[in-house]
Amino acid sequence: MTTDSHTRLCPLSKQDIGISALLAVGALALYVRTLAPNLLWGDGAEFQTLAATLGMAHPTGYPIYLLLGKLFTWIPIGSIAYRVNLLSACAAALAVALLYLLGRRLGSHTSAALIGPLALGVCNLFWWHAVMAEVYTLGAVFLAGVLVLLFTWRHTGDWRWLFAAGLLGGLSLGVHTTILLAAPAVLIYLLVTARRLVGWASAIAGAATGVALSLLAFILLDARDAPASFYNSTARPWLSRWDLFPNGFATPLQRITFLISAREFQWATALGSLNDMQKHLDQYWAFLRGGWPILTIGLMAVGLVITLQRRPGQMRAAWPEALVLLLLWLSLLFFVLNYRVRDIYVFYIPTYVPLALLVSLGASALVDQATVFLDRLAAPVVTRGTGMLGAILLLAALWPALSVVRDSALAGRITFLDRTEFATYPYPIRNPEAPYRRATQIVGQIEDNAIIFTDWGTVFTIYYVAHVEQGRTGIASHEWFAQNDDPASNGSVVRYIDAHLNQRPIYFTFIPDHLRPLYAFAPVGNAVPLFRVTGRYHALSSSH
């Protein structure tokens, strides 16, 4: 059976499946060897906690990720925190394997098809997120999975593959919404290649089903309304920060819209100036240079040029496949160049998926050209097949990363972030027990019905120890973040404190400057600085 555009891509053999499986096992072994052993700070602690409690996470909610994380919490290995870290490792290993299959599907030689996935697998940014609880390696799996299914439909013409691609794309709404940025590239790809109604109907039906399942996951977690959740840690006490009142956050539709629209981060999504975009592009390039061997970056460029020159009907990637990879990368890049958050680098990871494929395609093209050249020189020993040339290129491309792999494997932890600003948060590599130890000390000093305000890094470490490990679900942990020094701008959180001041003990891990005129604080405990609110100085206007 042929596809609508009568183009077949390269078939996958049993050997390809076997190699991809070995690749996944090898990558997983490396990631497990260097896996974060315990609780993390910040977002990582949030995901570790909420995978266990099934509370809603910060925007955009990530319910599909949390449901998959819940499955991993049932694995009888290590702590719950460790098991959720393991989800990232498994996802990263699967992404590496899928990218190999994609390279082979697009016509790369076996050895060349290994280069892109392996380069991504040991890229410091990707590897870092493969060893701790985060959504980005799972997002890479979903993105690679959509491409695998899309190109398999292109090869076989079977509409069921398009349905599956749409389904996976729709489910990505509950993993990470940036994956939806692939939609325009996929739509253009279908406009070029799908000429039958059954193909379009399959893709639309699959996407609608996936979106419906994601929304169902949102609704289920929303209805659960677990005590440990972003709703209770941040959103409800701080509604006035987003010009909301309780009646604006009262229904499932209102809450889910708040999450999916990422209202908390909308200030960072406006189009930037050309100067700002240039700065972001410089940072993107710095991360690319720092994480990918320079030879692989050259192979990306070669892969794009060579693939664009292919013609339909060849048993290699044709121009529609090159087009979708290019458009996918450009749409993701455009987003990161205009998104102004401190940790923008985490959004680089999805952009690396098409780049890894281009590395493999570029490597395969160089092997082809080298083979032709050497054949003309009558060097049959060197050019016997393409395996030897591909192996040489593979070794040359990955040689700079081998020492890092060796050092990290021997140390049992990632070593490439040592002496960088990323070595302490969210995974304190040299002091991995710090988040758990600090949370245990805090929880040990407060009552079972206490309220505690702290920084984002610590909020869910407290929830993890109190709710997940100790079952003390009466403890409420809240993020403290004031918009400015005007207490009136934080009316909802002040009203929250006032409402509970005489009923429950309230603690802070630090004293916010603009609360000093409002409340009396008394230091308590010795292990970790804690300050208990002991009284109210004067009434504050309840406006806003």
Q: What percent of the chain has pLDDT over 90?
A: 71
Closest CA to 256 of 205, 199, 215, 203: 215
Q: CB–CB of 329/355 below 8 Å?
A: yes
Closest CA to 193 of 421, 467, 8: 8
pLDDT at 379: 54
CA dihedral 400, 406, 412, 413 (to 10 degrees): -10
Closest CA to 182 of 149, 133, 215: 149
Instruction: Please give the C-alpha separations between residue 46 and each of 18, 58, 308, 436, in angstroms, as whole numbers.
Output: 36, 9, 43, 13
Peptide bond preceding 251 in cis form (omega within 30 of 0): no
Count other Cβ atoms within 10 Å, centred on residue 246: 10
Q: For 60-91, how does the pLDDT look when each residue is reduced to its tens digit (9 = 90+)?
A: 999 999 999 999 999 999 999 999 999 999 99
Query: How do strand 530-536 and strand 451-454 relate by DSSP bridges?
Result: unpaired
> Max Cα separation, the chain?
93
pLDDT, averaged across the chain = 89
3-class DSSP string for 405-469: HHHHHHHCCCCCCCCCCCCCCCCCCCCCCHHHHHHHHHHCCCCCCCEEEECHHHHHHHHHHHHHH
**pLDDT beyond 60 at 242:** yes
Phi-psi region of 541 (alpha: psi -120 to 50; beta: other; left: phi over 0): beta
pLDDT at 1: 42
pLDDT at 540: 46
Q: For 11-25, how does the pLDDT look when each residue is reduced to its tens digit (9 = 90+)?
A: 899 999 999 999 999
3-state helix, strand, coil in the chain (%, to 5): 65, 5, 30
Q: Which residues of 197-219 are buried (b: 16+ CB within 10 A; e: fewer)?
A: eebbebbebbbeebbebbbebbe
Q: Which amino acid is at 394?
A: L
Q: What percent of the chain has pLDDT over 70?
A: 90
What are the domain boundaries of the chain? Answer: 14-228+269-411, 434-536
Q: For 108-125, how does the pLDDT look when each residue is reduced to its tens digit (9 = 90+)?
A: 999 999 999 999 999 999
pLDDT at 378: 59
Q: For 150-179, how does the pLDDT look when each residue is reduced to its tens digit (9 = 90+)?
A: 999 998 989 999 999 999 999 999 999 888
Whole-model pTM: value is 0.92
Q: For 447-475, how does the pLDDT look when each residue is reduced to its tens digit (9 = 90+)?
A: 999 999 999 999 999 999 999 999 999 99
Query: How do strand 476-479 and strand 451-454 relate by DSSP bridges?
Result: parallel
